[in-house]
Structures are given as C-alpha cells and as structure tokens.
Structure 1
Amino acid sequence: MSVRHANALTARWASHLDDRQSVLSGAGAYPLLALLARHAAGPARDELRAVAPDLDDLGLDASPTTRLAVGFWSRRGLPLGEAWRRDVPAPMRGELTGDPAVDQPVLDHWAATRTDGLIDRMPVRVDRGTALVLATALSVRTGWATPFDPGWSQPRQGPWQGRRLAALRRRDDDLTALRVADTAAGAVSLLTVTGDADVDVVLALGEPDRPAPAVLPAAIGALGGGPTRPRHAGPGVTEETVEAFDDHPELRVATVAFAVDADHDLLRRPELFGLAAATGDGDHFPGISPRLNVDQARQAVRAEFSATGFRAAAVTAVAMRAGSAPPRHTVPKRVLRLDVDRPFGFLAVHRDTGLVLVAGWVTDPTPA
C-alpha cells in the first residue's frame, strides 16, 4: 500500500542526510513519483516503480489538518496522452507560455496559496525550454491537545551549552506518551505529542553519538511497534521520587521550539527517487507526451513547532524538457523527566494511516 511505500521512501531519504538541521517529506514526493511511474516506459518506468509502485489513496482526503494538491503545467501546443488527461483532469492543468517572466510567478503563486504561505515559491525554475512542470503541495497544521508552557532555557552541557533557547515545558500523567524503542541505532526515546485532530508529532532523541541518518530511520521503523526498553533507560530520561499531593506517576517534558527549512535537489541522488534513467535522452514518458526527460526535480520544505501547535509544508516539483486542588497530605510520586537539550529528530504522523508526513532533524532551535 502507498503509506508503507511512502514511509519507506522517507526512511531511505533520511538515511542519506548529513548531521545538519534539515526536514524532508517522502509523503510529498511519493504521489508525484507514482504518477510519473504510471505513465513511464522502459528503464525509467522500472526505476520509478521500484520506488513508488502504486498510486493508492494516502488516506488524507477527509483530514481536517492535512491537504495534498497536485498541479500540472505544459507548454502551449505540447500533445498530451489520453491516459494522462484522465489522471490529471483539466482543473489541475495549466499552460506555460514559454516566457519565464510570465510563467514563474504563476507557479510561485500556486505553491504559496496551497501551503498557506509557508512555501513562497515553486522549487523549480522555468525557462523557455521547459516543456512541463508537475508539482505536489503538502500542508499540515495542527494544534496540541495539551499545549506547552513557553519559557526559556540555557543548557549546561552538550552542543547547545550556554545558548538561550525558546523552551517548551509540559506535565502529563500519561506515561504512555513516552516510549523507548530498542533499535539497530540503539535506544531512541520517542515522545508522542498528541494533536487536537488527526496528526501527532513524535520527537525522537537518540543516544548522544547517534546522528540523524541513524536516528530518523530507526524512529520511523519503530512507529508500528517493536522491541522496547524501560522508559527510565531512554536517552534524555531521568526518574526520581518526589513528595506530592497524589501518587499518580507524572511525565515532565522539557524541549525546544524550532523552525526548520530545507531545499532539496532530488537529482543529487536520482537513484533514491527512481529518476536516474529519466534524466537521460529518450522517450521516457510516452503516456504523458513523446520524448520527455527530467531536467529538474526539487523539494522545498518548512516545519514549525511551537507551544500551541505544529505546521509544515512541502512542495515537490519536476520540470521536464522535450527531446530532452486544596492542600492535602503529600505522598511519594514517580516522576519521569525527558529533557530534549541536544539535537533530535521529529516526525509528523497522520494518526489514522501511520503516514509520515514530514521528518526532520533539529540542530538550531529557536532562540529565546
């Protein structure tokens, strides 16, 4: 099914990140790749189908928080196949005039309006030789079921030592929000921040020496379950007993706000996206139009995590060329603390389907 394949694409992509701050969306790229695969031929079809083998519904149509849009623009006079016209009906199609001064603002406006302004331009740039552009826009906006208390913090150790950061703190009596996955990358503390509708965000803190390419795929793989370790053994987790008015265990979370941007050139690793063969000369997409080859493939992404909620957007685009209470007695209470005070990963997950909408790594949180 598409959700499983889209999550696999996200995990593979994340495994090729370096350890700098970044964000990506396999869920945003997958429908575009699957649509191209349906209308490709030869080696291009085989490569694309290996990455995006089906075009099943991702289960987002009824989502109150998440939107996925597809846009297509072709050069005036470019013949389009009947099967392509059925898959991409007229309301989704636009025309390229061949004048970049006219066409680029139209594409940029489409990207901005379908992401509520989070992405203000189309990631590909058109010129007079551009035959067509195919794009997807994914946007996510959710509030928290339980907001955080904003403040500031100044870590005493680690890579953020001495920096004044925008801190977020929360207390919760639901210890199940914290799970410690036992993965090939070691222990990963997974905190589910529950959204007020159908999207949750999972914060993933690995062991201190584990980088993004290890922690993020491990976190994605652990979403469906798997072996765990005791909560108190998780990275960033401490446990203590305090005097309190009740004996209900409590989870205290301290993390940071962040805003992460990234611009990805998918053709830097075309094999990862099934696009290697499609970049050479040939008749790769006869179902769309004769003698097309991929000229550009890019994704622009932004994600923001605050005290009140989370929002993110990703625009993925391919450009082609033709031919080319009162006081009471106190009792002991068990308290788990999770302190996210060094680089960590995050996953925005559609709750009903398990689709990872965006995944990212935070190294430069919001300053206070």
Structure 2
Amino acid sequence: MTSGAAIGDLVRASNDLTARWARDACDGTTTVLSGAGAWPLLAFLAAAAREPGRSELQQAVGVDATGAERHARDLLALLAGGTAATAALGVWTLADLPVEQWWRDAVPADARGELTGDPAADQARLDEWVTRNTGGRLTGMPVEVRDDTGLILATALSIATRWREPFEDAPLVPDDGPWAGRDRPAAGLFVSTPEVDRLALAETTPAGPVTLLTVHGEDDVDVILCLGEPGRPAGEVVGHALAATDGRYPASQGAELVEKATPGVRVRTIAAFEPGTRLNVTAARFDVAASHDMLARAGVFGLATVSTPDPRGHLPGISPVPLAIAQAVQDVNATFSAEGFRAAAVTAMSAAVMGAPMAEARALDVRFDRPFGFLARHRPSGLVLLAGWVAEPQDWPDGTV
C-alpha cells in the first residue's frame, strides 16, 4: 500500500489489525478491545522506526511506513469528525529530550506536551487527560511514568449513542447452552421490528456461518452483534464477523434467512394483522471492561523488535537519544443497554531511554504563592508596557477539581 492511501484503505488496514487482535485475544472469556485506538500510535512509530522494527510495524499497520504518520492523523481526524465518537491524541516527551524536527512536524501541535521528570506529578497530569478525553469513563493513563520514561504516546476514544429504536429491559432465561440453568434470570433486552434486513448471515467464513445483527444508533455509530455456531472459537467468530462487515464474505439478509440455517435464529409462524416478516431480537445487556498488555502479544502489533533493549535505540525519527518501547497497554470498557451504547478506550505506549545512564540534573522549583509583582515588556525595544502587583489570588471556581 502506498503512502497515498485513501481513507477507505486506512479503515481496512485498521480493521485488519482489530481482526488479528480479536482472533488472538478473544479466548472465550469476556473482553473488549480497540484496534482503532492502537493503529494510529503504531503508524506513528512505524514512520519513526529504523529497521528491522520499521518493517515489523509496517506489516502490523498495513501501510507503507513512509508517510504512515500522515495516515495516523487522517484516521484520528475521521474519528474526531463523527457525532457519536470523539478521539484525542496525546504525545508527551521529556522536557530535556532532544526531539527531531521531523517528529515535531509529524505530531500536531495541540497534541504535544512535556514530561517534567517528576513521575508522580506527570502521572497525575496524564490521568487527568484520560478523564477529560473519555468523559470520566476511564480515569487513569494505562502506562506508568517512570524515571527512565522519555516519551509517552496515547489515544483516547469515546463513544456515546442512543439507539434509534430502543430496547425494552426483559429477563433472559436461555433454554439451553452455557447460560441455561442459572439460579436467576440474566439481564436481557428485547425489541421487535419490521426492519428484518438488520439481520444478516455470512455463510462461508472460515469460522463457519456467522449471524450479524446491526443495532442502529441515532448518531453515526452502529453496534453489530455477531454469533457463530456453538463451540466455534470466539476469536475466529469475532475476527471473521469483522471481515464480513467489510464485505470480505457474501451475506444474505432479512427475509432470505427464512430458508437458511442461521446460528441463533429460529423461524416460526405467528398471527399478525399484516402479512410479512418481523424481526424479534433478544440479547443480553453487557457492561464489559478489559486491560490489555500489548507487549504480551508484541508480534500482533509489530512491537517485537522496538521493545527490546538496544543501546542504539529503535526510533531515530523521534530523537537521537536511544529509545525503546517499554510499555504498551490499552484500557477499554463498553456498555450495551436498553437506551444505547457507551464506550471508551485509552491506548498508551511509553518509550524508555536506552544506553548510557542519563546525566544528573538539578531542577529549580519556584512558587509565586504570596503577593508578587509583574511587568509586560516589549521584547524588541525593551519598553515596559505594563507593571503591576498581585496582592490577593482569585478564588478557585466552585465545582472544579
């Protein structure tokens, strides 16, 4: 893929990463992940890395490493431009870390910040960034600021949409399967609709037939529920369902499914005032949270080489100081309720300074926490434009923290 990739190619590349991750990480236990949150960070790293890490990252993101930083910005702009989803990028470098001009140009100015070298204070600032950019659904930066941290990259995604056609809360009592025989009913949802084309079947995936149900949000985000045959590996069902939504497999829709064996679907005859077919949907509510150590699956993300200690470093496009990825973590949660869908994902990677120990330095901390004066000076001429004194501080606004 060339550096002039269209936005559709970038969406496909990000979706491919999500599918690979899902096939590897969805092991049948409850989890949730966001390849779209990880893809831009990996693209930035691919553009900045040297070989052999550059090729590994390039393969993971599915676009040419040359120009990948532009694609990262394009994908983030696409996410940020929606009505139901928001996206934020944050890149923080140690205040005295030499940074290449290319990197300054690659990272948007409003996304750049500095690490002071005080891990506790920096961690608090990064945690606040997460809270602000996820509407409080997540409150902590997934990676830890350490003494050797020279760089942190993060994305924050947030989704909030209401269903176009809300569900009703209803008890869920399965007749068979692993959820049958519970002591209490499960929390379920129900809706009946004439929009039968919201249901589809991808028959020919490598995971066997997969049922797909599209739940439309009022904004520009839908949620697609997917179901495979009993016993099929979760990762395969999710990965190939994603591929089906990308059009990789042919799909039958709506009334066509009356004559097809479709996982999770039972066809019956009912009395109705008008002829036709209706779609009755019963699903379990869910509130899912997960944390992923991406370095535990470094090969999926192209991080195997760039996360190894090397005194030469792996990211010369960022800094002449040797750097290696030390942490890569994603925290994510999602809630599917009768009213709508809400989710947040924060993906963060930190790079540690490699090679010789850093030189000791001193910090001068100054606090203007008693009455003080000020001057406004015209730099070219030295003309003092204003002079003043602050005798009392302003009050902190009510309701803020």
User: Aligned-pair distance for 1:208?
Assistant: 0.9
User: Aligned-pair distance for 1:235?
Assistant: 0.8
Matched, 1:255 2:283: yes
* Whole-angstrom CA distance in 1 between matches of 2:223 and 2:275: 28
Alignment deviations for residues 231-255 of structure 1 (CA, whole Å, 9 cap, x no partner): 2411110111111111131100011
Alignment deviations for residues 232-290 of structure 1 (CA, whole Å, 9 cap, x no partner): 41111011111111113110001111011110001001111011110121331111112
User: Aligned-pair distance for 1:215?
Assistant: 0.3
User: Aligned-pair distance for 1:157?
Assistant: 2.1
RMSD between aligned residues: 1.4
What is the TM-score when the length of structure 1 is the normalising length? 0.85
Amino acid aligned to 2:298: P
Amino acid aligned to 1:3: V
Mapped contact 2:244–2:251 kept (Cα < 8 A): no
Mapped contact 2:80–2:88 kept (Cα < 8 A): no
SS of the residue corresponding to residue 126 of structure 1 reads coil
Amino acid aligned to 1:177: R
**4+ residue segments displaced more than 3 Å:** none
* Whole-angstrom CA distance in 1 between matches of 2:329 and 2:80: 24
SS of the residue corresponding to residue 243 of structure 1 reads coil
% identical aligned pairs: 47
Matched, 1:29 2:38: yes
SS of the residue corresponding to residue 133 of structure 1 reads strand
Tell me which residue corresponds to 1:270: 298
SS of the residue corresponding to residue 235 of structure 1 reads coil
* Whole-angstrom CA distance in 1 between matches of 2:60 and 2:54: 10
* Whole-angstrom CA distance in 2 between matches of 1:102 and 1:147: 44
SS of the residue corresponding to residue 239 of structure 1 reads coil
SS of the residue corresponding to residue 24 of structure 1 reads coil
Tell me which residue corresponds to 1:244: 272
Query: Which residue of 100, 103, 115 corresponds with 2:122?
Result: 103
Tell me which residue corresponds to 1:172: 193
Which consecutive residues of structure 1, in runs of 5 or more, have no partner in the other structure? 325-368
Tell me which residue corresponds to 1:288: 318
Amino acid aligned to 1:176: D
Q: How many residues of Structure 1 are paired with residues of Structure 2 in the alignment?
A: 324
SS of the residue corresponding to residue 112 of structure 1 reads helix
Mapped contact 2:48–2:318 kept (Cα < 8 A): yes
Alignment deviations for residues 9-41 of structure 1 (CA, whole Å, 9 cap, x no partner): 000001112111110100000001001111111
Amino acid aligned to 2:305: A
Tell me which residue corresponds to 1:4: 12
SS of the residue corresponding to residue 22 of structure 1 reads coil
Which consecutive residues of structure 2, in runs of 5 or more, have no partner in the other structure? 1-8, 356-401
Alignment deviations for residues 321-365 of structure 1 (CA, whole Å, 9 cap, x no partner): 1115xxxxxxxxxxxxxxxxxxxxxxxxxxxxxxxxxxxxxxxxx
* Whole-angstrom CA distance in 2 between matches of 1:60 and 1:298: 20
User: Aligned-pair distance for 1:92?
Assistant: 1.5
Matched, 1:77 2:86: no
Amino acid aligned to 1:143: R
Matched, 1:188 2:188: no
Mean Cα deviation higher: 208-217 or 51-60: 51-60
Amino acid aligned to 1:128: D
Tell me which residue corresponds to 2:343: 312
* Whole-angstrom CA distance in 2 between matches of 1:28 and 1:173: 35
Alignment deviations for residues 121-140 of structure 1 (CA, whole Å, 9 cap, x no partner): 11101111111111111111
* Whole-angstrom CA distance in 2 between matches of 1:209 and 1:120: 37
Alignment deviations for residues 62-85 of structure 1 (CA, whole Å, 9 cap, x no partner): 211111111011112001110111
User: Aligned-pair distance for 1:156?
Assistant: 3.0
Alignment deviations for residues 162-212 of structure 1 (CA, whole Å, 9 cap, x no partner): 242111000110110000111111111100001112111000011111121
User: Aligned-pair distance for 1:61?
Assistant: 3.7
The structure-2 alpha-carbon separation of the partners of 1:61 and 1:101, relative to structure 1 and needing over 3 Å to count, comes to closer
SS of the residue corresponding to residue 330 of structure 2 reads strand
Mapped contact 2:12–2:246 kept (Cα < 8 A): no
Mapped contact 2:15–2:36 kept (Cα < 8 A): yes
* Whole-angstrom CA distance in 1 between matches of 2:250 and 2:96: 57
* Whole-angstrom CA distance in 2 between matches of 1:153 and 1:268: 36
The structure-2 alpha-carbon separation of the partners of 1:178 and 1:89, relative to structure 1 and needing over 3 Å to count, comes to closer
Mean Cα deviation higher: 83-92 or 224-233: 224-233
Bigger strand share: 1
What is the TM-score when the length of structure 2 is the normalising length? 0.78
Amino acid aligned to 1:204: C
* Whole-angstrom CA distance in 1 between matches of 2:49 and 2:106: 13
Amino acid aligned to 1:70: L
Where do 1:280-359 residues align within 5 Å?
A: 280=308, 281=310, 282-290=312-320, 291-323=322-354
Mapped contact 2:56–2:303 kept (Cα < 8 A): yes
Higher relative contact order structure (alpha carbons within 8 Å, sequence separation ≥ 6): 1
Where do 1:135-154 residues align within 5 Å?
A: 135-154=154-173
* Whole-angstrom CA distance in 2 between matches of 1:26 and 1:108: 21
Amino acid aligned to 1:312: A
Tell me which residue corresponds to 1:13: 21
* Whole-angstrom CA distance in 1 between matches of 2:80 and 2:117: 34
